[in-house]
């Protein structure tokens, strides 16, 4: 009985958790959209990632394509899709292919180009192994993302290449070297604050400031001088993407066409294109959200139905068990009455037995539920693709905490309360019948 | 003059069996004095158990009066009847009717549940009664670990729990072997003589009945004959091992120390 009640309740609770996750993603999209609107002159250029076709299609979620504000690769989707996990070559990640910086120096001379910002982005993390349903899953948990940006006075002073939200210390400045700008997450990971010296891949850097993330995309990103990042990660002369700034918003499409003509191997995205992609993605998320809501509603209806059936079944079981017990113990009831037990005492004794019986069943049910719930969660939760438009981000969130049914203390109390109530309900009539048994007739019963 | 503890005046009881009325008891008159040991005999269907049920307030008469300690129990409510059963009457059944999931002491404590006695008082009283019926040291035994004779002793101790005015025994020796049969009758006779407990016993066994002081013969719901018995307690006993005179209640011969 307890299991029957706890499982649908657990499903509903976790479905709501999934719904919250989806809503959070929608909020992130909105934040990123706002960020992109501010940089309409910006064009992202990167090589098509080597893992094209997996999950995110053409690498839509890589740092290189979303530039300053558009990195969806770390942490956001519960891991499983991190740059270094899919990275190529000497970079150990980044979500894009390595680009030889010198091959793209001609972009700066294209008409309408105001500035070019070469970027190197490398993720560092550690593998985490989990066991579910008897299978072992390994995924890379990112610790931090190093982003090297050229700290020239032209770029720093005139273009939005640095984080805007500084919460401690100061921002990077033109000419800075040997210093890093940490995110708040980074400060916890390194256990360091402004002015402290930290060790990154064997080299010492001074924390110059702390930036508050503008969205989930840069929560784990630490910024430093491009040349520092290149030498630190043994990638001298290599970058992972380019940010191209047009003279004005009207020239953006022409400049993008010119870059594509000059370097057809590059994936070129304007801010407008990114915005369109994001809007399409947002539509996809909205659809997913609606699906999730519909699914939750359906699950709630199903769960409610199951609970009603469980309650009815439990009451009936207790009812028949107690009725049988009363019949079997008719002579005992007669004896109790003969030795002076009142109707009320007899009735309360049988009611108490019914409640205790149900309570013991509830405790056993909870114990089984605690053991069985994690296994059953995999069977009862709806297919994950139901939430992701094209089997996209939900793949990464497959092992997010929200996907597991847990038997909470509140749920245990509800189950025990229900057990007491149903035990009392089911034994009410049998106990009443026992109390009304005529002692003389009961004594004759064999 | 002896004090009357039970009085029946023109007691009748009839049942409806389909369209037919069956007269189980008809115009019964009876006086039972305090401290009497009465046996009721009669063939099956003569109304013995019906009479005992009415005397024990388990059933109500369809006519006449039942005065228990001067109170007409025929007009009492169900609530008043259970109080009477609890305080004034002790039952001993042929099949003992002990609760199998309770031990001997707990079974004896059971009638005291609704009284004002504290848990420790109930416990002490139960232990005293078990000692009195010769079951000292067997308090923690459940019925299935006791012999039939021992179970009936527990049932007698339970019947005495609330110090009732009258004990109603429905064929208390019916399920016992010869040795236990006599031990139980001896115990009841001992209670009657030494505790002054009024006992009304239904039995089929004429030998057992003859050991009470008053025998009633019931036939077709009427008392057809009444005669004086030879009260067991007044009989002279001798030890079967050494031959010296012994008392009714002696469990061990005071001379040869053998168990009787």
Beta bridge partners of A120: A148
How high is the mean pLDDT of chain A? 75
Q: Contacts of residue A440 in chain B, CB cutoff 8 Å?
A: 53, 58-59
Q: Which residue has the tokens 């909205």?
A: A286
Cβ separation of B58 and A439 shorter than 8 Å?
yes
Q: Look at residue A80 in the predicted model and tell me its pLDDT.
A: 33
Report the run of H or E that residue B180 belongs to, with start and end: helix B178-190
Q: Is B44 exposed, middle or buried (0-12, 13-18, 19+ CB in 10 A)?
A: exposed
Residue B53: closest C-alpha in chain A: A440
Buried b (16+ CB within 10 A) or exposed e, B149-176: bbbbbbbbbbbbbbebbbbbbbbbbbbb
Q: Contacts of residue B58 in chain A, CB cutoff 8 Å?
A: 334, 337-338, 438-440, 443
The answer on B139 and B259 residing in a single domain is no
Cβ separation of B113 and A345 shorter than 8 Å?
yes
The answer on B192 and B153 residing in a single domain is yes
Query: Terminal CA-to-CA distance of chain B, rounded, Å?
Result: 37
The answer on B139 and B44 residing in a single domain is yes
Q: Look at residue A438 in the predicted model and tell me its pLDDT.
A: 86
pLDDT for A337 beyond 60: yes
Phi/psi at A287 (nearest 5 deg)?
-60, -45
Domain that includes residue B256, residue range:
236-260
Cross-chain CB nearest to B56 (options A338, A341, A343): A338
Buried b (16+ CB within 10 A) or exposed e, A358-391: bbebbeebbeebeebbeebbeebbbebeebbbee
Q: Which residue has the tokens 């003509």?
A: A261
The answer on B244 and B183 residing in a single domain is no
- Banded pLDDT at B243 (limits 50, 70, 90): confident
B53 and chain A in contact, CB less than 8 A: yes
pLDDT, tens digit, for every residue of A416-426?
A: 888 888 888 88
**CA distances, A343 to each of A378, B73, B107 (Å):** 51, 18, 19
Q: For A112-126, A199-213, A279-293, which range has the lowest pLDDT when averaged over its residues?
A: A279-293
Rounded to two decimals, what is the model's pTM?
0.56
Specify the higher pLDDT residue, B68 or A90. Answer: B68
User: Under DSSP, is residue B126 helix (H, G, I), strand (E, B) or coil?
Assistant: helix
* CA atoms of A208 and B74, how far apart (whole Å): 101
Q: Look at residue B241 in the predicted model and tell me its pLDDT.
A: 84
Is residue B69 in a domain? no
Is residue B194 in a domain? yes
B82 and chain A in contact, CB less than 8 A: yes
The answer on B85 and B54 residing in a single domain is yes
Is residue B126 in a domain? yes
Is residue B5 in a domain? no
Phi/psi at B250 (nearest 5 deg)?
-70, 125
Q: Contacts of residue B165 in chain A, CB cutoff 8 Å?
A: none
Residue A446: closest C-alpha in chain B: B95
Q: Look at residue B91 in the predicted model and tell me its pLDDT.
A: 93
B62 and chain A in contact, CB less than 8 A: no
The answer on B242 and B144 residing in a single domain is no
The answer on B213 and B161 residing in a single domain is yes
Give me the number of domains chain B comprises: 2
Cβ separation of A338 and B82 shorter than 8 Å?
no
Q: Look at residue B207 in the predicted model and tell me its pLDDT.
A: 84
The answer on B101 and B41 residing in a single domain is yes
Is residue B260 in a domain? yes
Based on its alpha-carbon atoms, the radius of gyration of chain B, rounded to whole angstroms, reads: 19
Q: For A32-36, A139-143, A299-303, which range has the lowest pLDDT when averaged over its residues?
A: A32-36
Is residue B16 in a domain? no
Is residue B70 in a domain? no
Query: Terminal CA-to-CA distance of chain A, rounded, Å?
Result: 33
* CA atoms of B4 and B183, how far apart (whole Å): 28
B111 and chain A in contact, CB less than 8 A: yes
Q: Which residue has the tokens 């304007």?
A: A270
Residue A335: closest C-alpha in chain B: B97
Two tokens at A425?
């309900």
ipTM above 0.95, yes or no: no
pLDDT, tens digit, for every residue of B48-101?
A: 989 999 999 998 899 999 999 888 988 888 888 888 998 899 999 999 999 999
pLDDT, tens digit, for every residue of A346-397?
A: 999 999 988 998 888 888 888 887 887 777 766 665 554 444 333 333 333 3
CATH code, B99: 3.40.50.300
The answer on B243 and B207 residing in a single domain is no
* CA atoms of B190 and B185, how far apart (whole Å): 8
Is residue B257 in a domain? yes
3-state secondary structure chain A: CHHHHHHHHHHHHHHHHHHHHHHHHHHHHHHHHHHHHCCCCEEEEEECCCCCCCCCCCCCCCHHHHHHHCCCCCCCCCCCCCHHHHCCHHHCCCCCCCEEHHHHHHHHHCCCEEEEEEEEEEEEEEEEEEEECCEEEEEEEEEEEEEEECCCHHHHHHCCCCCCCEEEECCCCCCCCCEEEEEHHHHHHHCCCCCCEEEECCEEEEEEEEECCCCHHHCCEEEEEHHHHHHHCCCCCEECEEEEEECCHHHHHHHHHHHHHHCCCEEEEEHHHHHHHHHHHHHHHHHHHHHHHHHHHHHHHHHHHHHHHHHHHHHHHHHHHHHHHHHHCHHHHHHHHHCCCCHHHHHHHHHHHHHHHHHHHHHHHHHHHHHHHHHHHHHHCCCHHHCCCCCCHHHHHHHCHHHCCCCCHHHHHHHHHHHHHHHHHHHHHHHHHHHCCCHHHHHHCC
């Amino acid at each position: 009985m307890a299991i029957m009640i706890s499982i649908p309740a657990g499903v509903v609770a976790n479905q709501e958790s999934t719904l919250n996750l989806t809503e959070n993603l929608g909020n992130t999209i909105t934040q990123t959209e706002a960020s992109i609107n501010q940089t309409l002159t910006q064009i992202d250029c990167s090589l098509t990632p080597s893992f094209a076709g997996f999950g995110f299609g053409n690498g839509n979620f890589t740092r290189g394509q979303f530039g300053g504000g558009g990195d969806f690769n770390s942490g956001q989707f519960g891991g499983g899709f991190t740059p270094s996990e899919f990275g190529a070559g000497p970079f150990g990640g980044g979500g894009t292919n390595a680009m030889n910086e010198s091959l793209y120096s001609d972009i700066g001379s294209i008409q309408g180009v105001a500035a070019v910002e070469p970027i190197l982005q490398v993720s560092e993390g550690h593998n985490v192994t989990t066991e579910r349903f008897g299978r072992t899953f390994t995924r890379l948990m990112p610790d931090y993302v190093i982003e090297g940006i050229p700290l020239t006075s032209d770029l720093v002073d005139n273009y939005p290449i640095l984080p805007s939200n500084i919460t401690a210390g100061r921002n990077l400045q033109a000419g800075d070297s040997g210093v890093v700008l940490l995110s708040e997450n980074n400060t916890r990971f390194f256990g360091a604050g402004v002015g402290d010296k930290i060790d990154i891949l064997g080299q010492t850097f001074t924390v110059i400031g702390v930036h508050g993330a503008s969205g989930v995309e840069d929560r784990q990103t630490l910024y430093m001088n491009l040349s520092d990042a290149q030498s630190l990660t043994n990638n001298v002369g290599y970058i992972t993407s380019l940010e191209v700034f047009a003279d004005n918003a009207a020239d953006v499409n022409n400049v993008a066409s010119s870059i594509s003509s000059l370097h057809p191997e590059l994936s070129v995205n304007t801010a407008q294109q990114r915005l369109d992609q994001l809007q399409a993605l947002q539509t996809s998320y909205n659809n997913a959200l609606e699906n999730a809501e519909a699914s939750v509603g359906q699950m709630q209806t199903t769960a409610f139905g199951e609970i009603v059936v469980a309650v009815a079944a439990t009451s009936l079981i207790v009812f028949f068990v107690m009725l049988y017990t009363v019949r079997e113990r008719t002579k005992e009831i007669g004896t109790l009455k003969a030795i002076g037990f009142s109707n009320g005492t007899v009735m309360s004794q049988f009611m108490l037995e019914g409640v205790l019986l149900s309570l013991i069943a509830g405790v056993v049910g909870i114990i089984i539920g605690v053991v069985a719930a994690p296994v059953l969660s995999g069977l009862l939760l709806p297919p994950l693709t139901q939430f992701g438009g094209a089997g996209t981000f939900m793949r990464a969130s497959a092992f997010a905490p929200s996907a597991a049914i847990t038997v909470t203390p509140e749920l245990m109390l509800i189950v025990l309360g229900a057990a007491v109530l149903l035990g009392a309900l089911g034994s009410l009539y049998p106990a009443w019948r026992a109390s009304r048994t005529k002692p003389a007739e009961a004594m004759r019963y064999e | 003059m002896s004090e009357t503890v039970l009085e029946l005046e023109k007691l009748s009881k009839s049942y409806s069996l389909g369209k037919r009325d069956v007269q189980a008891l008809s115009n019964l008159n009876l006086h039972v004095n305090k401290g009497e040991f009465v046996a009721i005999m009669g063939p099956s269907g003569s109304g013995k158990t019906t009479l005992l049920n009415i005397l024990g307030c388990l059933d109500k008469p369809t006519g006449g009066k039942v005065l228990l300690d001067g109170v007409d129990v025929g007009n009492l409510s169900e609530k008043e009847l259970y109080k009477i059963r609890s305080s004034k009457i002790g039952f001993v059944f042929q099949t003992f009717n002990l609760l199998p999931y309770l031990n001997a002491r707990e079974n004896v404590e059971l009638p005291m549940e609704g009284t004002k006695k504290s848990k420790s008082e109930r416990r002490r009283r139960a232990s005293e009664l078990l000692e009195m019926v010769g079951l000292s040291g067997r308090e923690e035994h459940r019925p299935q670990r006791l012999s039939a004779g021992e179970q009936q002793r527990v049932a007698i101790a339970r019947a005495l729990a609330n110090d009732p005015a009258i004990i109603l025994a429905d064929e208390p020796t019916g399920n016992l072997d010869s040795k236990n049969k006599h031990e139980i009758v001896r115990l009841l006779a001992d209670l009657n003589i030494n505790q002054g407990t009024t006992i009304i016993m239904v039995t089929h066994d004429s030998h057992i009945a003859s050991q009470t002081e008053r025998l009633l013969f019931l036939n077709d719901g009427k008392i057809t004959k009444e005669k004086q018995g030879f009260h067991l307690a007044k009989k002279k006993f001798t030890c079967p091992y050494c031959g010296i005179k012994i008392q009714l209640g002696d469990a061990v011969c005071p001379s040869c120390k053998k168990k009787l």
